Amino acid sequence: MTRLIVAAGGGGDAVAAAMLDGALHSDGDRTVILTYAWDRLLSDAVPGPRGPDRFTGLERLTPAVRTVPGGARPIAPAGSTLPRLAAALPQTFALIDPDHGAEGITRQVEELISHLEPDSIDLLDVGGDILARGDEPTLQSPLADALTLAACCQVNAPVRLLVAGPGLDGELPPDELRDLLGPVVHTFTAEDVEAVGTVLEWHPSEGAAMLAATARGVRGVCEAAGAGRAVPLTDEGPTVHEADLDAALARSRLGSAIMETETLCEVEASSREICGFSEIDRERENAARLGEELAAELDARVLLDRLDRFEAQARDRGVTHATFGRLAEVLGLGGGRHDELRRLLAEERPGRYGPPLWPLSS
């Protein structure tokens, strides 16, 4: 059996795809995960997703699809966690190339279907923002999900749409998602998380971190990056639901508008018109500031003082956990310094950290 999973929005969805594949199957080496190389400035100083021209060491799978082996490397100044992810997990990771719009990604998926003849094709999104209309005020990153949705709806093969961890991306409230979700196809357990346990110790994805934490039984309220979005960690967190693919496209104004796009610039233009913004524009605006933060020296005393103040204020707001993206944000650190921050906290706050979330002290 061969399986194809399209990770709808980026690195966190790829981690969740590997976790689901490991939970349901024992032969992960039979699965191809098609995913963006897009870390959204968390570990990459260059805005937007990485195309194949920004890597060395990729391998050709089909004319339009390159796989990312563990030995591949992003070309500086770009960065990517994808080669490290490929080295750590048994699945094969293939690179989504968004530069040719929805038509290009459709071509990639069709080539993979023809080459692999997979027994199943899933489109997986963590959180559920793939079900958005496009005008929701809480929406922050609709572009990638809408692009894969538009592409997968055009292939001549049955594609199952899956939503893992409804609401965990902090973009659509769980109450808005509830009527859009179909049956539960799996509920993650602590045992399921073990397959990606080492990855969660370094991977910057907030959605995958909260998904894994809820599978391990963590409950409470987690603050994520982006003005301190408060995300409830509930019994619904570790569930994976099926959703109607065609209904999702009909609901998505952005997805419907970009089906015939041939460039990423066209997709961005539609996002600005329909959603009021392009998330890549926001990354462009933030890139210079993050570069300055990456160049600054870490002052452990100053950072720990800031952390203590943040924890006290967050507890007053009813917050129980924080993502490392949120910690980096409140401490004034560029996202590429997550590993440094983890090492600092392990040394200065020993015994506190249980990956992948930071528990607030009591």
Report the pLDDT value the prediction gives residue 67, as an integer from 0 to 100: 98
Report the percentage of the chain scoring pLDDT > 90.
75
Residue 361 to residue 126: CA distance in whole angstroms: 28
pLDDT band at residue 335 under the 50/70/90 scheme: low
* Over residues 256-282, mean pLDDT: 97
Beta carbons within 10 angstroms of residue 95's beta carbon: 25
SS3 at position 301: helix
**190-247, pLDDT tens digit by residue?**
999 999 989 998 898 999 999 999 999 999 999 998 867 899 999 999 999 999 999 9
Q: What is the Cα–Cα distance from 165 to 233, expressed in whole angstroms?
A: 9
Given this model, what pLDDT does residue 286 score?
Answer: 82
Instruction: Tell me how far apart the alpha carbons of residues 290 and 285 are, in angstroms, rounded to a whole number.
Output: 10
Residue type at 105? Answer: I
136: three-class secondary structure by DSSP:
coil
Does 308 score more than 70 pLDDT? yes
Confidence of residue 34 (pLDDT cuts 50, 70, 90): very high
Residues 6+ away with beta carbon under 8 Å from 149: 8, 123, 130, 161, 245, 248, 249, 252, 255
Please give the structure tokens belonging to residue 34: 């098609």
Measure the CA–CA gap between 330 and 319, rounded to whole angstroms: 14
Check pLDDT > 70 for residue 167: yes
pLDDT reported for residue 225: 87
- Tell me the average pLDDT across 85-105: 97
Output b/e per residue, 295-334; b: 16+ Cβ within 10 A: eeeeeeeebeebbeebbeebeeeebbbbbbbbbbbbbebb
Q: Tally the C-alpha atoms within 13 A of residue 19's C-alpha that lie toward its C-beta.
A: 36
For residue 28, is pLDDT > 90?
no
Q: CA-CA distance, 191 to 22, in Å (whole number)?
A: 10
pLDDT at position 292 is: 60
Q: Please tell me the predicted confidence (pLDDT) of residue 85.
A: 96
| Nearest CA-CA partner of 125 in 17, 233, 28, 3 | 17
Q: What mean pLDDT is reported for the chain?
A: 92
| Residue, of 41 and 345, whose pLDDT is higher | 345
Query: How confident is residue 107, by pLDDT bands cut at 50, 70 and 90?
Result: very high
> Residue 295: is its pLDDT beyond 60?
no
Domain boundaries along the sequence of the chain: 3-264, 287-359
Q: Report whether pLDDT(160) > 80.
A: yes
126 φ, ψ (degrees, to nearest 5): -90, 125
Q: Distance between CA atoms of 39 and 53, rounded to whole angstroms?
A: 17
pLDDT for 22 beyond 80: yes
- Residue-level pLDDT at 1: 76
In DSSP notation, 250-296 reads: HH-HHHHHTTT--SHHHHHHHHHHHHS--HHHHHHHHHHHHHHHHHS
Confidence tier at 291 by pLDDT (50, 70, 90): low
Q: Which two tokens stand for residue 157?
A: 């093969």
Predicted pLDDT at 294: 56
pLDDT at 173: 86
* Burial bucket for residue 8 (CB in 10 Å: 0-12, 13-18, 19+): buried
pLDDT at 359 over 80: yes
SS3 of 106, please?
Answer: helix
Pair of tokens at residue 7: 């990770």
Select the more confidently predicted residue: 338 or 278: 278
Separation of alpha carbons 341 and 236, rounded Å = 30
pLDDT at 45 over 90: no
Strand partners, 187: 239
